[in-house]
Each structure stands twice: as structure tokens, then as C-alpha cells.
A and B are shown apart, each in its own frame.
Chain A
């Protein structure tokens, strides 16, 4: 086993940390499969000889663009927090994490507002298969981001207690993988759902 070779070279807790992070990476990969299934459902229900989706007439691409920018900026500020963690600057870590939280929360706020707007205009989740697929896909992503936001809050509170140690690094690595992964899923959401839906 490769892990045995690694164990011979590193301290024990570094090695178990490495296995833990790999386990978290595998969880992210299974989440990819979940999103893959939702994308497949969305594509089948929106393209294969179905009625043209009613989404087009309700879309506001400017809002989607601003949402995308919020999520991308949030991702970047999170990376800055990680960078400051490695330089052991507690206040800056908390500051960048707080900014990531605000940007992510703005994203969720715009998404919820959009859902309410769509529902008011009659594009509800129960009007068609295409609508159900839309709300399930975008909603699942939104739910992931919401949990990521709670996680960021927890880390802001934990940061002074963890004193920039190994545990803090490991937890930031988990959240970093999760947060970047959500941004990557969003690339495909805005391309496949919104941009293709608007053409």
C-alpha cells in the first residue's frame, strides 16, 4: 500500500489528516455524481422533444451574471483566507472568511428572490417536468451553498479557539474543497441552465 510508505515518512497525525482529506475529496466526488444525475435529468426534460421550456420568458440574465460574480468573488476571498491562515494572521483570516460569507449570502439572497419571482410569474416547480428539474438542480446547488455558509460561520467562531494549528488547516482545507467545488458546479449551472435556456 502507498499509505504505508507515507506513514514511514511523516508524523502520525499528518498521515491520518491526509487520509481524512482524501476521504473528504471522495465525498466531493460522489457529490459530483449527484449533480451529474440532476444535470442529466434537466437536459433530458428540457431538450428531448419536450415543449420549449417556459423559463426563457422569465429569465433575467443580468441577475444571473451578478449572482455568478458574487460566487466567484466569494471563492477568491476564501482563497485569501487560506493564504492568511498559512501566514498565521488570525484577524485577516476572519475578515476574509466574513467577506466570503457576505458574498455567498448575497448569492443565496438573489437566488431565493429569483425563485420567488419565478413562482409569482407562474413558473412553479409543479407546472412541468422541466420546471421540476430546474428547481431541483438549482435548488440543490443553493442548498449546498447554504450549508457552506453555515460552515463558514462556524469556522469564523472556531478560528480563535483553534489557534492556527493543524486542525484549523485541515478544516479550512475541507471547506476550501467544498466551496471551490460549488463554484465549479455553478459554471455548468449558468452555462447549461441559464445561458442555454436563454438562447
Chain B
């Protein structure tokens, strides 16, 4: 990249590099294949399978955030993006964990 290219605003999405995209693509492919293999082979007990596919999903989520969305705190805008993202995470956890908690309790008290 010449000097002119480096001056382009990146909108908080980081510099564009083929290497990082490639690493992201390969690791996401491997993680996806791993998740499907664990379920399709069906060799492990239920709980272990759950743990493995959820770990793979969370790792793949992080890889996508870093390699494709290029979330970073290098620039002012990058910091704002991360802040909005963290706030969304708080709301999502409230909605999903809250719903499951309430419904689990309702189910428990109705059945017992």
C-alpha cells in the first residue's frame, strides 16, 4: 500500500489485508466442519457434544469479529463501534438469559 492508500479512512474497520481474511476463512471453515462432524459422528454423550459445538460457535464468532468485521480499538470510531457492540451484548444477554430463566421457572412451578 502506498502512502495515499494508508490515508484512506477505514471507518473503524481496520486496514484491509488478504492474510487476515484468509486466516479467518480457513479457521471458520475448520470450526464449522468440526461442529458438524461432532454431531454427525454422534460418538460423544449429549452434554459433551453441547459443550463442544457451543465452544466452536463462540470461537468462530470471535474469529469473525476480529478477521472479517475487524472490530478494533485503534481508532476513535473503532472504539465507538466496540462500545455500541458491548452495549448490544448486554441487551442480548438480558433478553435471552432472562427469557430462558423466566420460562424455566414457570415450567418448573407448573409441573411440580
A: residues with CB less than 8 A from B are: 2, 5-6, 10, 14, 17-18, 21-22, 25-26, 29, 32-33, 36-37, 39-41, 43-44, 47-49, 61, 64-65, 68-69, 72-73, 75-76, 79-80, 82-83, 86, 169-170, 173, 176-177, 180-181, 183-184, 187-188, 190-191, 195-196, 198-199
Contacts and interface: CB of A to CB of B under 8 A. Distances in A.
B54 A29 contact: no
B107 to A, nearest CB: 4
Query: Taking each of B46, B77, B91, B107, which has the highest tally of chain A beta carbons within 10 Å of its own beta carbon?
Result: B77
A198 B39 contact: yes
Contacts of B110: 49
A195 B77 contact: no
Contact of B16 (A5, A83, A184): A83
A18 B77 contact: yes
B60 interface: yes
Contact of A44 (B76, B88, B100): B100
- Interface range for B: 35 or more
Secondary structure call for the A interface:
helix
B88 to A, nearest CB: 4
Interface string B70-107: 00000011001100110110011001100110011011
B92 A33 contact: yes
B68 A25 contact: no
22 contacts: A21-B11, A22-B12, A26-B84, A29-B84, A36-B91, A39-B96, A43-B100, A48-B103, A65-B33, A65-B36, A68-B32, A68-B36, A79-B25, A79-B68, A83-B16, A83-B21, A86-B1, A173-B11, A180-B64, A180-B68, A188-B57, A195-B39
A166 to B, nearest CB: 9
Contacts of B61: 184, 187-188
A61 B40 contact: yes
B47 to A, nearest CB: 10
A40 B100 contact: yes
Contacts of A82: 16
A14 B99 contact: no
B88 A29 contact: yes
A96 B44 CA distance: 40
A69 B92 contact: no
A76 B32 contact: no
What 8 A-B pairs are tightest by C-beta distance, nearest first?
Answer: A40-B99, A21-B11, A191-B57, A36-B92, A49-B107, A29-B88, A76-B25, A79-B21
